[in-house]
Copies of this chain bind each other. A is one copy, B any other.
Amino acid sequence: MFETGFLHGGDYNPEQWIREPAILAKDIEYFKKAKINAVTLGVFSWAVLEPCEGEYHIEWLQLIIDKLYKNGIRTILATPSAARPKWLSDKYPEVLRVNENRRRNLFGARHNHCYTSPVYREKIAHINTLLAKTFSENPSILMWHISNEYGGECHCPLCQEAFRDWLKTQYQSIDELNDKWATTFWSHTYQSFSQIESPSSLGEKAVHGLNLAWRRFVTHQTTDFAKHEINVLRENGCTQPTTANLMYDFTDINYDILAEAIDVVSWDTYPLWHKTKDIIIANDTGFYHDYMRCLKDKPFILMESCPTSTNWQGISKLKKPGLLENASLHAIAHGADSVLYFQMRQSRGSSEKFHGAVIDHYGGCDTRVFKEVAQTGVDLEKLSEIAGSRTNSKVAIIYDVENRWGIEDSQGPRNDGMFYPELLKKSYRAFKKKGLNVDIISQNGNIENYNVVVAPMLYMLRGEFENKIKAYVQTGGTLIMTYWSGVVDNDDRCYLGGTPHGLNEVLGLRSQEIDALYDDESNFFVPVSTSLFGKNYTCKNLCELVEVTTGEVLMRYGTDFYKGFPAVTKNTYGKGSAYYICADVEESFYDELYSMVLKELSINGPVQGDIPASIEVNTRHDGEMEYVFIQNFANEIVDISKLSIDGILLIGENTKQLKAYETIVLKVTKV
């Protein structure tokens, strides 16, 4: 993506040290030692840029950017909208958010402004204009970093009005809205759009259509705000790409929509390393790397990661030696074109004063953390030819945030836990154990080119995707679907006439009932024939009862009154196959299922042989070459001699065993 190869650097706040030139000088000296080539400036700098209304100070920023540039370090420049100065909310209280209980916040924290407020939009336009005019032609600027970690919502009168206007664009008439939202229930019929209020625990929280519409509106309004910020830059001559930093497992807004407004996806990753087995954490993080990459189907930016322990998690665990680099290269392996840290120098006070940093309060470069950062810089240079290369996946998992909103708001069948994210990870991990790249896409994605598409718990099945699935299987695709799919439509209203809606023929079955199990209950799957599956598998939480029409039953329930009912089925539809998993079965079932499916489809990963449990394998490719990343997430030596791998080692020296937390990267001619 960048002519410089991989970016290496992170968030830098020189404004905190503006009166200490010795420290600023030391920073640059250290950055060079650590092969830092990019820093993010300006996040949260508004109060320094505009200390009083209309009084701008930008010279300090120019000086620093120039000085960095002269030292080979380029800048990702942020717009400062994520936190506003005190004078702004004092003078214009409308910029402060109103919470769902209709209480306006006081000044404080960050991410605390109304996305609708015309005043806020005007003020950010002024400051963005200043930044744009100053830096639009400055060669040091790599990218524009729009705001910071967009999220949250506002229920102020301005947002209420905007919500109503947006609803009018979504529904032809109030009658249509009433029908789609089923407002007759509990006498909630609206007579006009003007009667509608956003969801509130002081008022209405149980009209699912309203809740869903509100979430969509919040996404719309946040994206509209981001577009407003970007437009100001573009109108003032900026041509550099834009990004916004997204977050882990964040569902306030639908990133599908926000991603359309920016040029490059970036995200902030703070895994709880060492909390459980690190390979589990690596897989979980990898899932989100893949999700971020697929948002725009191209390399993404790792915008924030912590060089050591974070301060805001329950336990500020140190990263064990080697993990910093391993986790950094893990992002590269999944398609990142950068390793950026939060933060370059630790702040002296306030909320994140103990957040890990490249340079800590002690201030030396002889620390363990600094040395590991510097080593990572060295290795990133060795890998620089990989920058910009792409990812190819033969399998895809459908993860749809709107579907998740629906599941979490559904009230039944299991308010004590539906385990949708956990279910996604079961398939994901089963594929990763086989060394496959995986794409994570929503119902908006195209599925026709995958060999296997997995659609777990696709509760909210939108009409277009129903059609995509039919066409996909008809023309030879392999679909894996689970229980609790095709239940509600695009307005979160139940389908009538049998579920999974529209797919009864594709799957060869109809769902009859769904049983929720108490936490201490379980059932199990029994193979119809041991030539199909080798053993029983335990299932928990949710067990669907289906009747098959054309479907073949592969496994059956082992107990309860639905003993003998189908538990796993397979149906041939057109040229393809559709599997249906009726219950929340243990992960090892998916290992066996996918072994069978992949074998049938002759899909192989980049390495031969069984991959040891702590190893993750990923590939990137350019037109000619494939780059194979093999990473050890155990804190001990692991034997990989049984994996037949061949190629040129770009980093690492040994293809027979990996050291604790070691990564090796091989370059192989693409077949």
Contact = CB atoms under 8 A, between A and B. Distances in A.
A493 B205 CA distance: 41
Given A87-B191, A186-B83, A181 B349 contact: yes
B311 A413 contact: yes
Contacts of A106: 102, 197, 200, 202-204
Contacts of A514: 316, 318
A313 interface: yes
Nearest to A203: B106
B316 A498 contact: no
B105 A202 contact: yes
Contact of A204 (B16, B107, B274, B493): B107
A15 interface: yes
Contact of A351 (B85, B352, B411): B411
Interface in A9-34: 13, 15-16
Contact of A47 (B86, B188, B413): B188
Given A349-B182, A496-B361, A187 B16 contact: no
A202 B416 CA distance: 29
A200 B561 contact: no
Interface in A55-107: 80, 83-87, 90, 101-103, 105-107
Interface stretch (A362-370, A584-592, A617-625): A362-370
B48 A184 contact: yes
Interface stretch (A206-214, A237-245, A247-255, A530-538): A206-214
A203 B107 contact: yes
Contacts of A308: 513
A512 B367 contact: yes
A495 to B, nearest CB: 7
A105 B203 contact: yes
Contacts of A416: 314-315
A17 to B, nearest CB: 9
Contacts of A197: 106-107
A514 B47 CA distance: 33
Contacts of A412: 309-312, 316, 353-355
25 contacts: A46-B187, A85-B189, A101-B103, A106-B197, A108-B188, A108-B203, A108-B204, A182-B348, A186-B350, A207-B349, A208-B350, A310-B412, A312-B411, A315-B416, A315-B517, A316-B414, A318-B515, A348-B494, A351-B411, A361-B497, A361-B499, A363-B496, A367-B513, A368-B513, A369-B513
7 closest A-B pairs (Cβ-Cβ)?
Answer: A182-B349, A106-B203, A108-B204, A311-B412, A354-B412, A108-B203, A206-B351
